[in-house]
Structure 1
Amino acid sequence: MTAVSADVLLPARRRRGRRRPVLVLAGAAFLALVVLAAGFAPLLAPYAPDAVDLSASLVGTSGDHLLGTDASGQDLLSRVLYGARTSLIAPLALLAIAALLGVTLGTVAAWRGGWTDTLVSRVTDVMYAFPGLLFVVLIIAVFGAGITTSVLGLGLAFAPTIAKYTRSVALAERAKPYVDAYRVQGMSGSRICVRHLVPNLARSIVGYLVVLFGEALMSLATLSYLGFGSQPPSSDWGLMVQEGQAAIVQGALLPALVPGTAIAAVVVAFNVVGVWAADRLGARR
């Protein structure tokens, strides 16, 4: 009788689960390095992010400039390190605004039901039918360009997505016996939601927000690239890509490639870690 190894008998999904933590750990380690680099940018950056040196314009990689320079002679490594602050903090602020609105609307819709649920659902459907970036551009046209307006506008654009997700998980949570038990004890609906229902949804919502972080970062970078988000002399990664685009014609790829690679790497790492976190948090609920 031929001996069969234990790994062969494992289901394919379980074998994939063994390998997944390697990618997750690599992604988490990379994100930790990015956060540390952003926090210690004043110590790690060899130059000030806005230090202009026209004599070193579009210099390639060298001992003085490890990642080269842009058209103004600004050191790309220094700009990327400082730009990580805006590129990481802005999506967090965006998701905080969206979560505050979305979780509130989704919970109220699931708890109240009836015409309240119908109204919230129709409003979120209308928001879905309207392209998010176009909605933000309209807000920027009224209130002016800038990172603050972009964060507020995208926060409103992301809120319907979070509201729909919150409503779906809140409906399932509301049907659990402990909710009826608290009602029998005379506890008000608002108190049940604030003290018990929403905290029990926190795991799932946090996992979902981690997945959305990459999309939020990409959206803000897109607005900065289009000139609606961060404004010069900011070192925002999206703005750096836009500023470095003209240098491609001159054969200098680094001014656009370096910040573009940083955006892609962080988004991929957050997606890997976010999907794993969402699976784990969802399974533990």
Structure 2
Amino acid sequence: MTTSIALGKPLRAGSPLGYRLAAAFLVLVVAAAALAPLLAPYEPDAVDFAASLAPLSPGHPLGADQSGRDLLSRVLYGARTSLLGPLGLLAIASVLGVALGTLAAWHRGWADAVVSRLTDVMYAFPGLLFVVLVVAVFGNGTTTAVIALGLAYAPTIAKYTRSVALAECAKPYIEAYRVQGMGGFTICTRYLVPNLARSIVGYLVVLFGEGLMSLATLSFLGFGAQAPASDWGLMVKEGQPAIVQGAFLPVLVPGAAIALVVVCFNVIGVRLADRMGVRGS
């Protein structure tokens, strides 16, 4: 993946400059989200119909939406849910995926066959359809969307964990601990999984941007965050009617925030994956 800078020289995603720029931008985004109450000029849900669809101005640095809500304030507050959501879903997916992948690699045989068939079935089932079914049963909302996506991502992490755990299980130290009479659960929790952590964390960074985009998509479709939340995906959905009136800022501002954060996480993920030797399964 490549991009171009003003001078026309290619800036590779994995280059040190691209990595540093992406990391610096994400640090700013995280800091802005943490300091949103101090940085935001207005409350995110403060309505002012006199400022409806206001353009860029000192009073509204990024404009305002149809209800006159300040877009800068909403983007700053929305960064919290938009960044914490992917962390939550990856945490759920990691617990399930690492456990299943390690179980399959350690026991082999029937356990490996069961986990492999389970992941194959989940891959054959469209992820979005699975999430929609979960939402239909348990209702809309950010929590439901995070849990549903966590379950949907678990097979991907399980498959990757199994591949790296198989190679790790073949190393001499595993057999040495077995000869000493140490149980399989102890070996896995104390030695095997911690030794896999480096590769797994690198892989999760690669998945973070995809998770953010998935949550934003669910919010855009009405299955994730609900009004009056300032989630970025929901902001894009709510800003669509303004396009008919020639106002693009209500869609462009949150859309650009999503795109920039996803691209930066992908740049950092590619860099970390190259340095850690991470490869998708």
Paired residues in the alignment total 269
Structure 2 distance, partners of 1:138, 1:232, is 21
Unaligned runs of 5+ in 1: 1-15
Structure 1 counterpart of 2:53, one-letter code: L
Structure 1 distance, partners of 2:223, 2:252, is 21
Tell me the equivalent position of 1:107: 102
SS of corresponding position for 2:120: helix
How many angstroms does 1:278 deviate by? 1.6
SS of corresponding position for 2:53: coil
SS of corresponding position for 1:245: helix
Is contact 2:13-2:271 (8 Å) kept?
Answer: no
Pairing partner for 1:203 from 198, 214, 232: 198
Structure 2 distance, partners of 1:150, 1:18, is 30
Structure 2 distance, partners of 1:39, 1:18, is 27
Residues 1:133 and 2:128 are matched in the alignment:
yes
- What is the correspondence of 1:119-130 to structure 2 with a 5 Å cutoff? 119-130=114-125
Pairing partner for 2:275 from 264, 275, 280: 280
Counterparts in 2 of 1:239 and 1:194: CA distance versus 1, 3 Å? same
Structure 1 distance, partners of 2:139, 2:189, is 36
Residues 1:150 and 2:145 are matched in the alignment:
yes
Counterparts in 2 of 1:228 and 1:167: CA distance versus 1, 3 Å? same
Residues 1:191 and 2:209 are matched in the alignment:
no
Structure 1 counterpart of 2:84, one-letter code: I
Structure 1 distance, partners of 2:210, 2:124, is 18
TM-score by length of 1: 0.93
Pairing partner for 2:256 from 253, 261, 276: 261
Pairing partner for 1:233 from 228, 241, 245: 228
Task: Render the CA deviation track for 1:48-73: whole Å, top value 9, x for unaligned.
Answer: 00000001000100010000000000
- What is the correspondence of 1:1-285 to structure 2 with a 5 Å cutoff? 20-282=15-277
TM-score by length of 2: 0.94
How many angstroms does 1:19 deviate by? 7.6
Structure 2 distance, partners of 1:279, 1:110, is 24
Structure 2 counterpart of 1:107, one-letter code: T
Is contact 1:237-1:263 (8 Å) kept?
Answer: yes
Structure 2 distance, partners of 1:49, 1:34, is 17
Structure 1 distance, partners of 2:21, 2:137, is 43
Structure 2 distance, partners of 1:219, 1:126, is 20
Is contact 2:219-2:231 (8 Å) kept?
Answer: yes
How many angstroms does 1:17 deviate by? 8.4
Unaligned runs of 5+ in 2: 1-10
- Aligned-pair RMSD on alpha carbons? 1.4
Is contact 2:14-2:268 (8 Å) kept?
Answer: no
Is contact 2:81-2:231 (8 Å) kept?
Answer: yes
Structure 2 distance, partners of 1:104, 1:281, is 21
Is contact 2:89-2:146 (8 Å) kept?
Answer: yes
Larger radius of gyration: 1
Is contact 1:203-1:282 (8 Å) kept?
Answer: no
Structure 2 distance, partners of 1:157, 1:150, is 10
Is contact 2:14-2:267 (8 Å) kept?
Answer: no
Structure 2 distance, partners of 1:195, 1:66, is 52
How many angstroms does 1:279 deviate by? 1.7
Structure 2 counterpart of 1:196, one-letter code: Y
